Homo-oligomer: A and B are copies of this chain.
Amino acid sequence: MSVGEFQLIQEYFAKELSAFGVNLGIGDDCALLTVPEGRQLAVSMDTLVGGVHFPKNADPELIAERAVRVCVSDLAAMGAEPLWFTLGLTMPSSESNWLSGFSRGLFKAASEYNISLVGGDTTSGPLAITLQVHGSVLPDKALQRCNARVGDVIFVTGNLGDGAAALAVIKKEFEVGKSAFAYLMSRYYTPKARIREGQLLTKIGHAAIDVSDGLLADLGHICKASGVAAVIEAERLPISDPVKKLCDPDTAMTWALTGGDDYELCFTIPPSRLRVFEDLQAKYNFDCTAIGEIVSGDGVSCLSEGRVVLPPKSAGYEHF
């Protein structure tokens, strides 16, 4: 069944949430919002195109969940608190089954991060989703890319390479058992935006970024913005058991270094705050691994058994 634009918005997207600071939500020319007093607004936009960023025939519930999580991950990487999001949804037709699944996934993820849909646009065209997330952060507390300093220890949350492994499995390049399949699909479609970790880091961390284009590329952005270099140790890269079982160690390392779609945080902590950070880790069950150090120079080097492993050619996803 096909539904009209206004009915569509009413039925699938105009959900009242008792959201902080929403003076006027969906349904007027603009949404009207009040940013918490004394805080800066943090905004980030992501576009996900059908057939490019996700399979066109993927479950709409998963597409929507993933879109929200991927975009909220940018708030996590700044240490921001999620507030609101807007949705630009373009689709070839308006099928109620598809929309109902999409809406379910959207609000499932949104309620997990306590972020409210306040506006957007629905248009007819090739399937694509643009989300903008809005959060708040205390002035001078955001985890900017330019804040890494020589001597900082480099950490990543969770595991790396799961996103790339999942894509390889989706493309049927590898076969896996049922539980590994479930693990990888959940890592790909429902990545966990590290909101809590980002917020804890605003107290002690220097720089942070979320790993969306691959560790080498994303850590490279920190290095470039901060005017420093990074040395990481291949043996320390946190790789999940399903990925270790799926492929040879070189492939796993390549996925961990250059695969995108992990949405873990890569961040740096100054040596003077490592003790405090250890306390935080223990107290909050903060899942992360030290993988290297910020040094002077430029670029990212990866060492294995003391020798430089040349980064593979394709160092991070570029859209063009």
Contact = CB atoms under 8 A, between A and B. Distances in A.
Interface string A244-275: 00000000000000000000000000000000
B41 A34 contact: yes
Interface stretch (A121-129, A157-165, A301-309): A121-129
Interface stretch (A3-11, A169-177, A180-188, A288-296): A3-11
A139 B90 CA distance: 32
Contacts of A41: 32-35, 41
B44 A3 contact: no
Contacts of A219: none
Interface residues of A, number: 70
Most buried by B among A29, A34, A78: A29
Instruction: Specify how many copies of this chain sit in the oligomer.
Output: 2
A31 B44 contact: yes
A249 B137 CA distance: 57
Contacts of A146: 28
Given A5-B320, A88-B45, A35 B32 contact: no
A214 interface: no
A24 B142 contact: yes
A135 B30 contact: yes
Contacts of A4: 318, 320
B128 A3 contact: no
A320 B94 contact: yes
A233 interface: no
A119 interface: yes
A43 B116 CA distance: 14
B123 A126 contact: no
A126 to B, nearest CB: 4
Interface stretch (A48-56, A100-108, A276-284): A48-56
A240 B319 CA distance: 45
Contacts of A94: 320
Nearest to A74: B29
A28 B94 CA distance: 35
B319 A5 contact: yes
Nearest to A35: B35
Most buried by B among A32, A49, A77, A78: A32
Interface in A121-151: 121-126, 128, 130, 132, 134-135, 137, 139, 142, 144-146
> Which 8 A-B residue pairings sit nearest by Cβ, starting from the closest?
A49-B125, A29-B77, A30-B42, A130-B130, A126-B126, A94-B320, A88-B130, A47-B88
Given A24-B144, A43-B134, A46-B88, 15 more contacts: A5-B320, A8-B320, A23-B139, A24-B142, A28-B145, A30-B74, A32-B137, A34-B139, A35-B41, A43-B118, A45-B88, A45-B119, A47-B89, A49-B125, A121-B130
